[in-house]
Structure formats: C-alpha cells, structure tokens
Structure 1
Amino acid sequence: MALSWMLAHPAPVLFIYHWTTTKANKTGVITECSSCVVPGPGISSYSDSPQKVGKSLDTCLNWAQKRIPPEQHSQTPLYLGATTSTRQLNLSHPTFSDDLLAALTVALKSTPFDFQGAQILSSLNKEVFNWIAVNYVLENFFKYDWQGHLVPSGKGMAGVLSMGGTSTQLTSGEEGNQAPKEGVRLQLYGRTHNVYIQHCPCHGTDQLRRRLLSMLIQDQKSAKTVSNPCWPLTYSQEVRWQSVHAGPCAASDDASDIPGPDEVFNITGSSNPSACVTLVHSLLNSSSSSCSFLTHSLSSAVKPLQTRFLVISEAMDFLRKSVPSPDLGQAVNKICGMSVEELVQESQTSLDVAADYCFVTAFIFHLGTKGYTLDFDKSVQTAFREIGDPSSGWTLGYLLSLTNTIPQDSPGVLKGIEPGVWSLLLILFVVLLTGSFMRISYRVMVKENSFSNRNSSVFDDN
C-alpha cells in the first residue's frame, strides 16, 4: 500500500496505492488506488503563515491512518517529493519556500508513519515517471497469463506527450535524431529502458494561449474588437496587451505592430475550426517556435519519432470522451464547433478552461500532420482511471521506481492476492506544487498581469 500526496490547484489530494507483497522482476505491482481531497482553501492561502500549512493535511492523514492497519503504521515509509514549481519558488523566494517545506516536514514527522525525508524532483524525473506510469497502466512492461502469473508483455513501449502550462514534453524510448534531448536509463521489471525527453519551452497551454492572442491582436492591427476563431461564439474576454505579450515567451515579428502595454482589446470567439487550425499552424511554424519536433516535416532530414504517443492533457481527456472517431481532423471540427453551453455541459469544468480546448486540439492535430502517432483510444483513459488519474500519473511512476529499493516478500502468484496478506506498505507523500506554489510565488514576488475577469492561469509546469 502507498500514499501519494498531490498538492495542486485548487486543492491538495492524497492518493493511496495498493500493491502485492511480491514483485515482478524486482519492481512492485500496484493494483488499485483511492484518494482523499483536502477540504478548505489551497496551499496558496498559507502564504502569510506557512507554519500553519501542516494542519490542513490532518483530515486526509487521519483518513489514511484509519485505512492502514495500526500495527503497520510504524513500518510504513513516508516520502515527501516536490516538482518544478517548488524549484521555481525556491529560486524566487528561497526563505519562503524553505518555510513551507519545513512546515510540511514537521507535520509528516508527527505522523505514526516512518518519514524518510524530502526530495525535490527535476523536470526530467517527472516526465520519466509519467512515462513509467503510462506504460504500466497499458501493461507494456508485463501481462498476466491465464494462471494469473506475470509474464513479459511482448508489446512495445508507448511515448508520452505531456502539456503543461508553460511547456510541452515528448518522452519515449526512441532516441531519434532530434535535439535538444535528455536521457536516463531505468531498470524496471527485469529490463533496461533508455528513455529520452525532448523539452519544448513556451509551448504549454497557457503560453500558447498568450502567443495566439498576441498574434491575433497584431494581425488585426488597430481593431479594439479582435476575432478569435479558436473560441466559441458569444465567449469573450477583455485582454490587456501586456498580459499576453510579456515574459521570455513573448515574440513579435514586426515591432511596429506592438500596441502600448496598457491597451485593452475585446477578444471575441468566432468558432471557426479551419481558421483555428490555420492560425495554430502559423503559430507553430513561425520563427519564434523553439521546438524542432513541431517544425520539421515528413520529408525533412529530421524525422518524427515512430512511437505511439499518449497525450496527457485535460483537453485530450475531454476529446476522448466527446468524440467517438479517432480522426483528429473530425475532432477539431467537433470541439471547435461546440457552443458555450455544450462545452460547459459536456466538460463539467469552467468555461474559461473549456474555451481553450479548441486550440489545444488544433495543437495536437498539428502534431498529427507532422507524422506523429497519437493515441486516441478511450481504453487508455479508462485504464488510467482504474489506477489513478492522468494528471497525477507521475506520482504512480515515482512510486513504482521507489519499489526497486523496498524488500519483497516470498514469491507467489501476483494477481488476486487478498489485502490481508499485504504486509509491507509504503507511503509516498508526493507534493505536486502545480498551481498552488506558483500562485504563492506570484503573491510574494511577481505581480504579473493576467486576463481581466479571469482567474490566474493554471501552470502545470513540466
């Protein structure tokens, strides 16, 4: 059994993972997942009193203590992990970051579990853990035979395209000839896996939105009302120029077209799928695009990777659920043609979030035109839901990698073991500081302008 914390916007979540007592070639086999959402405000509400943050975890910690047999509490290792947003907060305001992590550490040490310390995970590690999780739930590492024994699956490994708020990453076991890339070597389920990550800054959903709006404003010159083909009809926002054209990701091909920083534009949706695709193609093929895997063509010297990629994105989850056809062109027409009412009803999320599904789908469609194979199968989403959640997939991968260091019990049939014989447990407390710590960082150090009448952007930093 394992617990995994995900402190994210809008509220922290505690996951409990269960696994069997034995291993498959020295790596754990996780069988189910449950979760607890922390009640009350998010972590960002403790910016003025970080010492109180630990108290907010009590409800879910008590829940975990009740689910884990008392006699096993002291034998249960507890880990604290943090990702990119924590590192960024540490750079911008290290004292405050230290205070938050120290308060969380104190809270975890006070539990009956065996706290093993904290680790700040690199961006590369997070993507590798995503890759592990995806291939685990797809049973690409192993499968069960008819007797319930684990055997090699014989299948190839899937890749992962993860879209964060500021960047996009492509992770696969195929090296290819694209640059820049990073690589790691993993030992999982008795095999060595070389995993490569291509990082694409400024191509996350938030930054792509800003760049797209910036391009629209410049293309339509002096118009104060700007048409956006990627937004649904009747949806609009008042946007200050500085809010979409600031920071390292901002780019302009013609300085004469740049409005004043305080100029405000009314961006209005026109719901035009073909125009949105053209706009996204233009954006991604422009000189400001820093991603080689987005700009090459099938006939170029740099070839697309032949791996089948699972896209980790809220928009892709919605697309799988809403569009029966695996044709990405039809998916763009469907999503980009939805009304405001349809988006809100079918997505079960806020309109400000759902309004961006069209351009994200167009972005994914663009990758398809570059020769990438993107997994549209709904069974992928179903498999993830059975073991966890795509947005927290890296925590599953992190846990699986940690099981290499945990002793195993005597071997046996791995499928169908009753919970009563799960003698060794692990708590993995993984802090995913996606929106929460970034929002704290903004409140403490950064006063960046954002869209008027809209909540601060979600930064799922990768």
Structure 2
Amino acid sequence: MGIQMKALILGAAMAAIACTTIIALILSLANHQSLDQPYSTQYGIVFDAGSTHTALFLYQWLGNKENNTGIVSQKQSCDVDGDGISSYVENPPAAGESLKKCLDVAKAVIPEGQRKATPVYLGATAGMRLLRLQNQSQADSILVEVTKTIQSYPFDFRGARILSGMEEGAYGCITINYLLERFIKHTFEGLWIHPKAGTILGALDLGGASTQISFIPKDPVRVPDSAFNLQLYGYKYELYTHSYLCYGKDQALRKLQAYLHKTAGSTQFISHPCYHKGYILNVTMADLYNSPCVVKPNNFIPTAILTFSGTGNSSLCLSLMENIVNLTNCALSPDCGLDGAYQPPVNGEFFAFSAYFYTFDFLGLAPKAPLTRVVSTIETHCNKNWTTLTAENPTIKAKYLQDYCASAHYIMTILLKGYKFNDTWDQISFEKQVGDTDIGWTLGYMLNLTNMIPSEHSRAVTGVLHSQWAAQIFFIVFALFLSLLIIGILFVHDPKH
C-alpha cells in the first residue's frame, strides 16, 4: 500500500474516532433525567393504656415528610386482653404480660429489617392518673413492668408515661382534623396542600375516668393554662382544651352510687332511678369507694354489701345528675364549663367519640339526631323494665346494659348544662371512626412525634432514556473498533515487520 493511501486511511479513521468520541460524550452528558425512588415505609406503635382497657395501634408513613410532619395512616389495631393496666396493682408483672399478644401481632406485620427502627410509645391516661393520686409507687411499678415487656421485643422503645389530660384532649382533636383533611389535603395532581378554607373541628372525648373537650374558640384563650399550642405541617394552632378527672363515665356513675348511698341513711337497700325496674346490683363498700373520686362515709365497712334496686325513673335520674356534676362556682362566668373551670363559648362543629359514641350508637342516635328525638329516645329506654330490656338485647352483657340509661342522662347533662350546646346541638356528630381509622388520641400523638423522627434524605437517581443509552454504547464500541483497526493497520504495514 502506498504511503499516501496509508496516511489517507489513518486520517479518515482518526477523524471517525474523534467524531464518534464526541458524539458518545454528548450523549453521556445531555438530556439527563432525575427519577425519585419510592421512599421506604416507616412504622410506629402507640399503646393507648386507658382506664378500662388497653389497645395497640400500628401506624405507617413514608420516609419523606410534608413540612416536617409525616403523612400517617393506621395499619393495624389490636385490643389487649383484660382490663386497663391500672387494674394490675396486686400483680404488676401481669400488666406487662398482657401486652405480649398485641406486640406479637405488630411484630408479624412489620418487616424484619425495619423492626429495630420502629418506635414504640405507651401512653397511660386517666386510670393511671387516678392510681398515681392513690399510690405513686404502685403506678411506677406498673410502668416499670410494661417497660420490661416492650423492651424484650426488637423495637425502638421510646418510653411509657402517663399523659396529662390536656395532652389527651389535644391529641384527640388533632386526630379528627387530620383524618378529615383539615390540616393538609391531597390534591388530584398528587400534591399535599394546606386547605385555604378549612375550619378546625372540636373534639369531645368521654373515657372511663375522665372527659376532655378541645376546640379553637373565636377569641384568644383567656387562661394560659387552658391553651395548647401545636405546630403541624408548618402551621401553628392554639387550642382550648380541658380535661376533667373523675368525670369519665365509669367514675361519674360511681359518684352517683355513692351519692345515693349517702342520702339513703343507714339502710343497705338503695333505690336507683337510673337502673331499670327489676334490676338488682350488689356492691361491697370496698369496691364502691375504691377510688379517689368518691369520699368514704363515716360508717365505712369494707365488707358490707349494698343492694341497688332499679326503679326506672327517667326524670329523677336526669335530675340527680346535677348532684354529681358541679355546675356552679365559676369565677369567670359566663365562660364556664364543669366544676368551675374556665371554658370559652363552644365554636364550630364537634366530633364526640369513645363513650359518647358507644352510648348513642346503642340508642340508635349516632351519628346525629335532633335534640327532641334524643330526649324522647332516652326517656323511652330508661322507662323500660329489665325483663323487656334483656329480651330485646340478648347478646349484650348485663354490666353494659345496666348503664346505658345513666350514661345517656349523664351525657346530656354535661353537653347541655356543662358545655352549653343547647343552641348548637346539631353541630355534634357522634363518631367512632373516620374511614378505617379509629378516633382517639393515639394518631394525634403519633403525628406530633413524627416532627421529632428524622425524615429520609432524597432518594432521587439520575439517568438517561434507554434509546439514548443504547446509542451512547454503540458509538463508544464503534470508537473502540476503529481504534483497534488503526492499531492493526499500523502493525501489519510497519516496515520493520
């Protein structure tokens, strides 16, 4: 081959290599696209250790956040067998043992690789608040035992503590408004936005040992101790919230029994207008007065048996409720609630849950009913005799059936005469769930805690389209081929060879 031809071929090959290299370089740098990988699912567990029972709630959310707060949903719930943990004063280790069934349920749901990163919280409410008033060391012993049990599981245990009544009320309010998308809303375009015209709903919670009311009043809260400030999804809110210890359903009905006993004189046979005619209940003095919510009488004999006999007198039952609900002695009148506590006028819509819902649901009054129908339904129910009532409700246990009349009148007393819903009754909805999620303080508590749980870093990856990648590889391979070709030509036609 002539020298000129050889030089021509080499020049052409070098030019082709340069071109393909430049094309490959352009393809490798141009038109890159970013793709967000899905965030991992994070989990959190909250135990609601109430006065009458304990429940586990398992929540989940994606690792990213919206304005520092997670978008949380309920994954699973589990009812713990037995009574509330405050009932285990004689055997604190059994309080811990009772949690194992539900911890096993949560363990089975959470992927093994994420268990150690799953935070677990236990919040005890009014039952333990009462026990702490009675015996601090017993309350501490129970918390120690439940802590031991939870720590034996492969989770990130963050503590067991007794919530304040204000926390319980405020977190319940947070739960309702989160579920109803009053804090944040998911748009059709897939974005999370703050609703412009969203009004915050109030919360009414009736437990066994305490009751809570929470809402945003029209005017600023006048008493700082009743204000609960929170920040969610980048916005700040000021709630009015108040918790009434000893005003829960069970403790209120206990106070009614104690009142009837003390006003009956020396007899141990006591008429009870809130119990249905024909119903009889025997209670020892030790059981009746085993609570700081009632004061023991001078003639207290622990083993003495008191017999309550139902008379089915609805109107008398209602009037007696004012003897156990303190509706006077308010220094800030007319801004008063129960027991002389400050309360601004109720404002907006409310969700009533827990015992509010269960009582009104049994009476067929949930989620809403006109006030006149509510009053007549309660009257009709309370005036039924026990034989008729049990025949109509054969599947309901007597310990629940006996109290619906008294519970209903108690609810009407605190809602109408205590919180003053007389003119805004139609603003109350009696609810148990929103969608598939239970209403209660635990979800609000978890939402607040996600502010303190670090979010994941962005998991975006950068790349190119498949066709662009294929072209890039072709030109790189072609450039390598030409390079090898040149080397081959030089080697074959080298005069030394």
**TM superposition score normalised by structure 1:** 0.70
Counterpart-to-counterpart distance in 1, 2:446 and 2:90: 32
**Alignment match, 1:198:** 242
Q: Deviations over 1:13-38 (max 9, x none)?
A: 32211224433332222223312344
> For 1:276, which of 288, 306, 317 is the aligned residue?
317
**Alignment match, 1:185:** 229
Deviation at 1:186, TM superposition (A): 0.3
> For 2:373, which of 315, 318, 330 is the aligned residue?
330
Q: Deviations over 1:312-345 (max 9, x none)?
A: 3324333145126612342243244334454786
CA contact (8 A) 1:131 1:172 kept: yes
CA contact (8 A) 1:53 1:103 kept: yes
**Alignment match, 1:169:** 212
Percent of pairs with identical residues: 30
Q: Secondary structure at the match of 1:160?
A: strand
Q: Deviations over 1:404-441 (max 9, x none)?
A: 112334789xxxxxxxxxxxxxxxxxxxxxxxxxxxxx
> Does residue 381 of the first structure (1) align with residue 432 of the second (2)?
yes
Counterpart-to-counterpart distance in 2, 1:138 and 1:68: 27
Q: State the Cα RMSD in Å.
A: 4.1
Amino acid at match of 1:377: S
Deviation at 1:287, TM superposition (A): 5.7
CA contact (8 A) 2:184 2:192 kept: yes
Q: Secondary structure at the match of 2:455?
A: coil
> Does residue 368 of the first structure (1) align with residue 420 of the second (2)?
no
Counterpart-to-counterpart distance in 2, 1:309 and 1:285: 23
After TM superposition, list the pairs within 5 Å mapping 1:209-288 onto structure 2: 209-216=253-260, 226-238=270-282, 249-250=293-294, 260-262=299-301, 266-281=307-322, 283-284=324-325
- Describe the shift of the 1:142–1:411 C-alpha distance in structure 2 as closer, same or farther (beyond 3 A): farther
CA contact (8 A) 1:217 1:226 kept: yes
Counterpart-to-counterpart distance in 1, 2:443 and 2:377: 33
Amino acid at match of 1:187: Q
- Describe the shift of the 1:411–1:139 C-alpha distance in structure 2 as closer, same or farther (beyond 3 A): farther
- Describe the shift of the 1:334–1:394 C-alpha distance in structure 2 as closer, same or farther (beyond 3 A): same
Counterpart-to-counterpart distance in 2, 1:272 and 1:315: 22
Amino acid at match of 1:149: L
Q: Where in structure 2 are there 5+ consecutive unaligned residues?
A: 1-42, 460-497
- Describe the shift of the 1:178–1:86 C-alpha distance in structure 2 as closer, same or farther (beyond 3 A): same
- Describe the shift of the 1:62–1:362 C-alpha distance in structure 2 as closer, same or farther (beyond 3 A): closer
CA contact (8 A) 1:273 1:333 kept: no
Counterpart-to-counterpart distance in 1, 2:318 and 2:285: 23
Which 10-residue stretch deviates more, 393-402 or 24-33?
24-33
Counterpart-to-counterpart distance in 2, 1:344 and 1:3: 41
Amino acid at match of 1:274: S
Q: Deviations over 1:205-246 (max 9, x none)?
A: 233223333444566667765443322232222456786678
Amino acid at match of 1:267: F
Deviation at 1:3, TM superposition (A): 1.9
> For 2:178, which of 117, 120, 136 is the aligned residue?
136
**Alignment match, 1:157:** 200
Q: Deviations over 1:39-74 (max 9, x none)?
A: 578757865664565455444333322211122223
After TM superposition, list the pairs within 5 Å mapping 1:103-142 onto structure 2: 103-142=145-184
> Does residue 63 of the first structure (1) align with residue 105 of the second (2)?
yes
CA contact (8 A) 1:19 1:32 kept: no
Counterpart-to-counterpart distance in 1, 2:175 and 2:370: 26
Deviation at 1:349, TM superposition (A): 4.6
> Does residue 317 of the first structure (1) align with residue 366 of the second (2)?
no
- Describe the shift of the 1:90–1:213 C-alpha distance in structure 2 as closer, same or farther (beyond 3 A): closer
Amino acid at match of 1:387: T
CA contact (8 A) 2:130 2:292 kept: no
Which 10-residue stretch deviates more, 366-375 or 180-189?
366-375
Counterpart-to-counterpart distance in 2, 1:41 and 1:214: 23
CA contact (8 A) 1:178 1:293 kept: no
Deviation at 1:248, TM superposition (A): 6.0
> Does residue 24 of the first structure (1) align with residue 53 of the second (2)?
no
Deviation at 1:139, TM superposition (A): 2.5
Amino acid at match of 2:238: N
> Does residue 400 of the first structure (1) align with residue 447 of the second (2)?
yes
Deviation at 1:403, TM superposition (A): 0.8
Higher relative contact order (CA 8 A, sep 6+): 1
> For 1:77, which of 102, 113, 119 is the aligned residue?
119
**Alignment match, 1:437:** none
> For 2:401, which of 354, 367, 390 is the aligned residue?
354
Q: Secondary structure at the match of 2:432?
A: helix
Deviation at 1:188, TM superposition (A): 0.9
CA contact (8 A) 1:232 1:337 kept: no
CA contact (8 A) 2:276 2:402 kept: yes
Counterpart-to-counterpart distance in 1, 2:357 and 2:390: 14
- Describe the shift of the 1:147–1:227 C-alpha distance in structure 2 as closer, same or farther (beyond 3 A): farther
CA contact (8 A) 1:181 1:199 kept: no
Which 10-residue stretch deviates more, 227-236 or 258-267?
258-267
Counterpart-to-counterpart distance in 2, 1:395 and 1:7: 10
Deviation at 1:387, TM superposition (A): 1.0
Deviation at 1:187, TM superposition (A): 0.3
